Amino acid sequence: MCCSPCRRAIARAQRLAVETLRGLERVDWLLARHLRKTPPDHVRNILRLAAYELCSGGDPHGVVNAAVNLVATAKRGGHLKGLANAVLRKIAADGPEAYGALRVPHLPKWLLKPLQAAYGSPKVADIERAHFQTPPVDITVKNPDELDHWAEKLGAVVVLGGSLRLSAAGQISALPGYDSGAWWVQDAAAALPVRLLGDIAGLSALDLCAAPGGKTMQLAAAGAGTRAIDISPTRLSRIKDNLARTQLQAQLEAQDALEHSGASYDIVLLDAPCSATGTIRRHPDLPHAKDGSDFFELIELQRRMIDHAVSLLNPGGHLVFCTCSLLPDEGECQIEEALQRHRGLKIDPSVFEAEFIDSQMMAAPEGLRLRPDMLSDQGGLDGFFISILRWNEE
């Protein structure tokens, strides 16, 4: 177990890395002005981190010295410490002003083009601006009756009918209510699918791809008899830990979702594997870690999972399909095609009548489309698609 100073240091390092990735286009542009050729990756990344820290108000003397010392001890890079010192001193002098004047970083072409085709260039520009903002922290309260209590206790505001939003959360595990399991971290968009189901006490529910477990805990907290499966035992162990912390009950099984059989359920929740392009505001590394080459494989997997999920429903039961993707091929198009394959499957429009659902989220007949630029005055949202369908076997 790490001590508190260690946890703070780790959290600080993580924030620095995340924010450097968020502004990487700007950082690289500034560095390119002072570099004749690109240094080795490990040296380049030290320069990137230091340049961002300088541009965001870091102490010039301390930042430059720390970066130069890191370069000096790097294998195959120690001879570049003089270069690092010279470049970073120049960044310290004019970087902060120049950084703020640069354009908002653009999405990579592999993602930019399909999003422009789906939403148009002006809306994609809004999405890019939302990605460039550091997101707040959202939490879900175990007992909705205590929502106002925890909002006041944590200095949070309520968004989307039941999520608490903290603009400056700090160390999550040190906040009131964490140790007692009164709440858990969960983006407001991700919390919406279960919340829209309303009163589900006493119903049977299956969370098909359960990790990281926020929806499993929502189902259990709402009184549903919940079974959660995930192909990864490691991820399931984290869900087990969170269930223990929140004192909630769910049956956990490490299993491929496509192999689950032998039971039927009133609710089947499928938060399907996807491109995760809706989570860039919280994971700015994603545009650099992916290239779009897995789109077709993911779309085919989602199709197969939907068909399997339908086979697990009780008559009159609900299928909740959602993806943290901005791509219609992983959302609206999947549901449009599923309705053609399964004539007994019907969209249940009544679940989308909640007063906290904005009309712009209902632009598609297949379900709700949430974008990062929505709720922009309150910190934005993850990109998300949600459809809730009722099964009446013909």
Do residues 266 and 204 lie in contact, with contact meaning Cβ atoms separated by under 8 Å? yes
| Mean model confidence pLDDT for the chain | 94
pLDDT on residue 355: 87
Instruction: Give CATH 1.10.940.10 domain extents, the chain.
Output: 4-101
Q: What is the pLDDT of residues 194-226, one digit of tens each?
A: 999 999 999 999 999 999 999 999 999 999 999
Q: Which of 226, 232, 252 is nearest to 240 (CA)?
A: 252
User: Helices then strands (H, E): number in the chain?
Assistant: 14, 12
CA 138 to chain centre: 11
Report the sign of the C-alpha dihedral through residues 330, 332, 333, 339, in that order: positive
Positions marked catalytic: 324
Q: What pLDDT score does 2 carry? A: 59
pLDDT at 4 over 70: no
Decide which of 1.20.1560.10, 3.40.50.2300, 1.10.940.10, 3.90.1200.10 is the CATH code for 4-101. 1.10.940.10
Query: pLDDT digits over 138-189, tens only?
Result: 999 999 999 999 999 999 999 999 999 998 878 898 999 999 999 999 999 9
Question: For residue range 274-295, what is the model confidence (pLDDT) as tens digits?
Answer: 999 999 999 999 999 999 999 9
Cβ neighbours of 88 (radius 10 Å): 27
Portion of the chain with pLDDT greater than 90, in percent: 87
pLDDT in the model for residue 1: 52
On whether the 189-391 domain is CATH 3.40.50.150, my answer is yes
| Mean pLDDT, rounded, for 224-241 | 96
Mean pLDDT of 324-332: 97
Cα angle 84-88-94, degrees, rounded to a multiple of 5: 155
Q: Any idea of the CA torsion for 34, 36, 37, 42, to the nearest 10 degrees? A: -30
DSSP 233-254: HHHHHHHHHHHHHHT---EEEE
pLDDT of residue 78: 81
Point out the least confidently predicted range of 7-11, 356-360, 370-374. Answer: 7-11
Task: Kindly tell me the burial class for residue 133, based on how many C-beta atoms sit within 10 Å of its own C-beta (0-12, 13-18, 19 or more).
Answer: middle
Average pLDDT over residues 53-78: 91
Q: What is the pLDDT of residues 7-59, one digit of tens each?
A: 778 888 899 999 999 999 999 999 999 999 999 999 999 999 999 999 999 99
Integer-rounded Cα Rg, in Å, for the chain is 23
Q: Where in the chain is the domain with CATH 3.40.50.150?
A: 189-391
Residue 268 in this model has a pLDDT that exceeds 80: yes
